[in-house]
Structure 1
Amino acid sequence: MSKDVYETELSVLNQENAELKREIEKLKEELAECCSALSQDGKIKKKVAEMKVEFTHMEDTEGGFADTNTHCVFSVTTRIPFKLNQNQALLTLEDEEVAERLTKMGKHTVNLDGTTADVKVVPFTVGMGVKFELHVTISGKKINVSDIPELPIPDEWMRDKLELNFYKSEHGGGEVENVKYDKRSRTAVITFTRPGAMASIVRCARHPFYVNGRCHRISVSPSTDGHLEKLQLFSGISTKTILLKGIKETEDDEESVQDMIEIHFQKPSNGGGETESIKYVSKGAVWVSFEEDA
């Protein structure tokens, strides 16, 4: 082996070694993220971005007894973000076996309009995602009251005034069973004796509250209780999506290069097959997101 060939192969091996080290560090970071998500008391801590939730069904009443509450179930699945860097591409194939075969082949010589590029195919590791059901119960007899004014009167008087206010409210109401008043937070929970008495009240978010000849505005909202069920954390290597690295920069536009890459990996003679989607980045970086395959 000549010295030039030896140095070339050594340079390639060093480059591959550096890439493997970066992949190992990335996997370590993801492992640390998964571990930090579990606190010592067994609770799971995960930041979930604001999202739209899908209402799936209403729960039936157990035991055949009349239930004045409304029980709702929402299915929530977080999207998984991934940073796609310059000269990289994500390719999703229709067949898992094709993705596995292309990954095992490792390197592919791709024709980019007269020039060739040695593209490296590596498994695509999906970050941590969260899936759970959100169970929400909306009370049929209780309402939450906030923004109660601070007044120099005993707590018992304030409870009486709140009870009287919602007993004869112009927006509905009725006989009050109980008033739980918290002076520090300026909030209260009003429980009516008649189911459904609160329905017309919560349609208006701000209500007049008359005390000592003055009108104050208090906020009213339904009393709800929520909890999570069927919580799942998922992470791993994608079975259909592969990551392409080392794509050379060309004078062609990004879309044309993307098409040439896709054509190469569609050909059975190159070990490929039908593709579902591809995203190539020639400059800078972009964020792509993955979601559960429905």
Structure 2
Amino acid sequence: ATKIPFSLKRNEALLTFEAEEVAQRLIKMDKYTVDLDSKTAEIRGKPTALGMGVKFELHVTISGRKINVSEVPELPIPEEWMRDKLELNFQKSEYGGGEVKDVCYDKQSGAAAVTFLRPGAANSFVRRAKYPFHVNGHSYRLSVSPDTCVHLKKLQVYGGISKKTILLQGIPEMEDDEESVEDMIKIHFQKPSRGGGEIENVKYVSGQGVCVWFEE
């Protein structure tokens, strides 16, 4: 489910009804006289304007022919020679390699991209993080990882107004805890004689504001 944020400020409450028509009826009334313990409060009700929410699908494709290589040692040899040595090294079948089609090497970053000729040849590197590299009489361990392509699909932006929820403002300072105030709000707004109905949820904040989340 997509989650959409809403900023609930001090001395405000969100009141969600089971039926959409109840919330819409109360919003049209605008003001309510509510008994809160020993206080009678004039509270206003407004539509709940939601922030923006985003929904998307993330598709990751793992290449079967290409791997990325890093931690290539910096050696005093030309880049062309290093490309050749990488190609020879990754063609060794005993280490899971295969015939190499192309090597793209960047000396400055110490990274390379190796493309194999046979589809699926890169699959043997999916579960291994290191690969032996022998050059000029020395042995090194290169970091290897499969080449991936990330696609973002079905991007949707959500917003608008929650039709079942009203925002209550103007709640006076209360000595009671938040749960007690929520109970008082429920008692008032669940009565049909006051335009109310069955309540799904109440969230009241007496102190610092909070961020609440609506599910699309």
After TM superposition, is the score higher than 0.5?
yes
Q: Which residue of 1 aligns with 2:150?
A: 226
| CA distance, structure 1, for counterparts of residue 166 and residue 179 of structure 2 | 19
Asked whether the equivalents of residues 5 and 52 of structure 2 are also in contact (C-alpha less than 8 Å), the reply is no
Name structure 2 gaps, 5 residues minimum.
none
Asked whether the equivalents of residues 59 and 151 of structure 2 are also in contact (C-alpha less than 8 Å), the reply is yes
Cα displacement string for residues 43-73 of structure 1 (whole angstroms, at most 9, x for unaligned residues): xxxxxxxxxxxxxxxxxxxxxxxxxxxxxxx
How far the C-alpha of 1:215 sits from its partner, in A, is: 2.6
Asked whether the equivalents of residues 171 and 200 of structure 1 are also in contact (C-alpha less than 8 Å), the reply is no
| CA distance, structure 2, for counterparts of residue 208 and residue 91 of structure 1 | 63
Q: Which residue of 1 aligns with 2:190?
A: 266
| Structure 1 range deviating more: 102-111 or 161-170 | 161-170
Q: Secondary structure at the match of 1:198?
A: helix
User: Residues 85, 171 of structure 1: CA spacing in aligned structure 2 closer, same or farther, 3 A cutoff?
Assistant: farther
1:244 corresponds to 2:168: yes
How far the C-alpha of 1:139 sits from its partner, in A, is: 0.9
Q: Which residue of 1 aligns with 2:66?
A: 142
Q: Which residue of 2 aligns with 1:90?
A: 14
Q: Secondary structure at the match of 1:200?
A: helix
Amino acid at match of 2:15: L
Asked whether the equivalents of residues 90 and 97 of structure 2 are also in contact (C-alpha less than 8 Å), the reply is yes
1:192 corresponds to 2:116: yes
| Structure 1 range deviating more: 116-125 or 268-277 | 268-277
1:255 to 157, 163, 179: 179
| CA distance, structure 2, for counterparts of residue 80 and residue 281 of structure 1 | 19
1:35-74 correspondence to structure 2 within 5 Å: none
| Structure 1 range deviating more: 190-199 or 81-90 | 190-199
Asked whether the equivalents of residues 129 and 235 of structure 1 are also in contact (C-alpha less than 8 Å), the reply is yes
| Structure 1 range deviating more: 108-117 or 138-147 | 108-117
How far the C-alpha of 1:169 sits from its partner, in A, is: 6.2
RMSD: 1.9
| Structure 1 range deviating more: 273-282 or 207-216 | 207-216
Name structure 1 gaps, 5 residues minimum.
1-75
Q: Which runs of 4+ in 1 moved over 4 A?
A: none
Q: Which residue of 2 aligns with 1:106?
A: 30
How far the C-alpha of 1:281 sits from its partner, in A, is: 0.5
User: Alignment length, in residue pairs?
Assistant: 216
Asked whether the equivalents of residues 4 and 159 of structure 2 are also in contact (C-alpha less than 8 Å), the reply is no
More strand as a share of residues: 2
Asked whether the equivalents of residues 59 and 153 of structure 2 are also in contact (C-alpha less than 8 Å), the reply is yes
